[in-house]
Amino acid sequence: MSLDERFNAAAEKIKTFTKRPTDEELLTLYALFKQASFGDNTTPKPGMLDLKAKAKWDFWNKQKGKSQDAAKQEYIEYVEKLSASYL
């Protein structure tokens, strides 16, 4: 199975979780997914009053410089780790 196929399978696996991951786990998943899919964050930073968007932006921005393939691999491993708790 190729890296892209494993990445897509991991993204689908999250939808089968029976419990909701913590906010920090969800933000980490979001950041790794965005880095794997789009690369470095080049969007403008949201205003300080939009707390949800700011948190997502901050988590994605922490991934800056990580290659898309490395982010895909890390995403796959993180989903597998979370699966033990949420499936």
CA-angle at 39, arms to 33 and 43, nearest 5°: 95
Question: Which pLDDT does position 87 carry in this prediction?
Answer: 84
pLDDT number for residue 4: 97
Residue pLDDT, tens place only, 35-87: 999 999 999 999 989 999 999 999 999 999 999 999 999 999 999 999 999 98
Report the predicted TM-score, pTM, of the whole model to 2 decimal places: 0.94
Cα 47–Cα 50–Cα 51 angle in degrees, nearest 5: 115
Domain 3-86: state its class: mainly alpha
Domain ranges (residues) in the chain = 3-86
- Asked whether the beta carbons of 71 and 63 are under 8 A apart, the reply is yes
- Over range 29-38, report the average pLDDT: 98
7-46: b or e for each residue (b if 16 or more CB lie within 10 Å)?
beebbebbeeeeeebeeeebbbbebbbbbbeeeebeeeee
Q: Tell me the pLDDT band of 19, cut-offs 50, 70 and 90.
A: very high
